[in-house]
Structure 1
Amino acid sequence: MIEWLFDATFTVGDEQVLWREVIGNAFGLASALGGMRRKVWAWPVGIVGNLLLFTVFMGSLFGDADRVTMLGQAGRQVMFIAVSVYGWARWRETRRQDLEVRTDGKVPSSGGAGVHPRWATWPQRAFLVGALVGGTLLLTPLFTALGSYKPVWADAWIFMGSLLATYGMARGWVEFWLIWVAVDVVGVPLLWSAQYYATSLMYVFYGVFTLVGFFVWWRVHRREQEGAVGTTA
């Protein structure tokens, strides 16, 4: 079963596409859907997808000699796993607190969601922008020295954007969806040129999906704020 998962492909035009690339992205999509719905299970589901995609982008290490190795893409899967553990723990704690029976005996209307969306402060926004640009500039020469796929700055941009977006999701910042949009804009042409067609097409879908997620979280935040005002009144 494991051997089949690593070697199985299907044909799209003249190209062979790995099933584990498709399956890994399917887990990523399921995780994104769970994140939009603020479900704690989004984190472990995403980790499974990260493990599969790591084997895809480290092609030469896993027997795909014809595929270019994308260190930024592979490295971000490791980063995803690390940050996902943090996000998983944070959302589990939020859900646990929300589901505790209060003194009035009622369960919160949130239904035990893993996070309560909120806007980042201006200093936090400045941190996100500065870290995205600065991190890209710092990682580009490192990824170049390690032999990552060109243009290397794009690989570094995707890595930093993914790191910050995942962290922002764990913190519950509504803006994290917009960081994903910035990642997708660069990721689609980069991955297509590297012949990672399944992932590139998924990035197109993610671009639309992240915009939807942004407005969903924005609406949830506004609804919770209105509910809080009504309660205090």
Structure 2
Amino acid sequence: MAVSDFLSGLTEPLNTVLFHVGQDAVSWAELLGFATGAVGVWLTVRARIWNFPVGIANNIFFLVLFWSARLYADAALQLVFLALGIHGWWQWLRGGEQRSARSVRRASPRTLVVLLLLLVPVTWALTVVLGRAGDSAPFWDALTTALSLAAQWLLNTKQVETWYFWIAADVVYVPLYFVKALDLTALVYLLFLGLCLLGLRAWRRELTTEAAQPVAVPA
């Protein structure tokens, strides 16, 4: 049995069509991808470490969805996000001082400058790759992917600026998916945008609360 046949057998149940929204068929993979995405963002808003295993499940569902749709570049990117999710899970557990759990903090100006400078070459490279793969909107898909990668890196180290990058990505995603006639996906990302705004507010509040706490002085 060929590897492709084996993989098709594994993913076939997830590709079962459940219902239609207009002309769009919604499969188990797509529905579970949306559900885990929404739950994952909500857990991130609450600064709960369970956002990472839920996010990894989300990557797997979208990997199946994109692979089945022959969107191989998008499927490969899910593997990148999956690896970053595992890294972030460990960082939140043991990435703090003396391998303690991380707390919310601000990114340094240097970190932000580096990420912003990297957006240009990463977006350019992804535009070329996606264009050759036949993507319908290579630049915009590349830009949102680059923003999402930067946001995920900041999320892994629990830095409040992660939300600015997620918000920027979602601001592009919403009209992009409407233009692509993926109305359900656009509405889901509109929900994500609202959750990101809540996340920014919640993390900034937590940052202020932690800064106001008195520092313990050793006896």
TM range (shorter): 0.7 to 0.9
Identity level (%): 29
Letter in 1 for 2:105: R
Is 1:206 the counterpart of 2:192? The answer is yes
Q: Provide, for residues 13-63 of structure 1, a one-character-per-residue CA deviation record: whole Å limited to 9, x for no partner.
A: 3332223212112111211122222222211111111111112223334xx
Letter in 2 for 1:177: W
Structure 2 counterpart of 1:193, from 179, 192, 215: 179
Q: Which residue of 1 aligns with 2:14?
A: 5
Quote the Cα distance in structure 1 between the aligned partners of 2:67 and 2:182.
Answer: 12
With over 3 angstroms needed to count, the CA separation of the structure-2 counterparts of 1:154 and 1:53, relative to structure 1, is: same
Q: Which residue of 1 aligns with 2:69?
A: 60
With over 3 angstroms needed to count, the CA separation of the structure-2 counterparts of 1:74 and 1:194, relative to structure 1, is: farther
Q: 1:115 Cα shift? A: 3.0
Quote the Cα distance in structure 2 between the aligned partners of 1:198 and 1:213.
Answer: 22
Quote the Cα distance in structure 2 between the aligned partners of 1:189 and 1:18.
Answer: 23
After TM superposition, what 4+ stretches of structure 1 lie above 4 angstroms from structure 2?
A: 94-98
Quote the Cα distance in structure 2 between the aligned partners of 1:125 and 1:3.
Answer: 42
Quote the Cα distance in structure 1 between the aligned partners of 2:72 and 2:137.
Answer: 11
Quote the Cα distance in structure 2 between the aligned partners of 1:193 and 1:18.
Answer: 21
Q: CA RMSD in A?
A: 2.4
Q: Which residue of 1 aligns with 2:79?
A: 78
SS at match of 1:167: helix
Q: Give the TM-score normalised by the residue count of structure 2.
A: 0.84
Letter in 2 for 1:14: Q
With over 3 angstroms needed to count, the CA separation of the structure-2 counterparts of 1:204 and 1:155, relative to structure 1, is: same
Q: Which moved more, 1:154-163 or 1:13-22?
A: 13-22
Q: Which residue of 1 aligns with 2:143?
A: 157
Q: Give the TM-score normalised by the residue count of structure 1.
A: 0.80
Q: 1:200 Cα shift? A: 2.1
Q: Provide, for residues 155-211 of structure 1, a one-character-per-residue CA deviation record: whole Å limited to 9, x for no partner.
A: 111211111111100111101011011111111222333344332221111111101
Quote the Cα distance in structure 2 between the aligned partners of 1:15 and 1:142.
Answer: 26
Q: How does 1:124-143 map to 2 (within 5 A)?
A: 124-143=111-130
Q: How does 1:1-233 map to 2 (within 5 A)?
A: 3-61=12-70, 69=71, 71=73, 73-94=74-95, 114-147=101-134, 149-229=135-215, 231=216
Q: Which structure 1 segments of 5+ residues have no match? A: 62-68, 99-113
Quote the Cα distance in structure 1 between the aligned partners of 2:111 and 2:50.
Answer: 27
With over 3 angstroms needed to count, the CA separation of the structure-2 counterparts of 1:213 and 1:50, relative to structure 1, is: same
Quote the Cα distance in structure 2 between the aligned partners of 1:212 and 1:77.
Answer: 25
The answer to whether the 8 Å contact 2:21/2:184 transfers is: no
The answer to whether the 8 Å contact 1:53/1:74 transfers is: yes
Letter in 2 for 1:140: T
Q: Which structure 2 segments of 5+ residues have no match? A: 1-9
The answer to whether the 8 Å contact 2:92/2:158 transfers is: no
Letter in 2 for 1:194: K
Q: 1:97 Cα shift? A: 5.4
Quote the Cα distance in structure 2 between the aligned partners of 1:225 and 1:120.
Answer: 15
Q: 1:228 Cα shift? A: 4.1
The answer to whether the 8 Å contact 1:22/1:198 transfers is: no
Q: Which residue of 1 aligns with 2:6?
A: none
Quote the Cα distance in structure 2 between the aligned partners of 1:156 and 1:3.
Answer: 29
Q: Which residue of 1 aligns with 2:3?
A: none
The answer to whether the 8 Å contact 1:17/1:197 transfers is: no
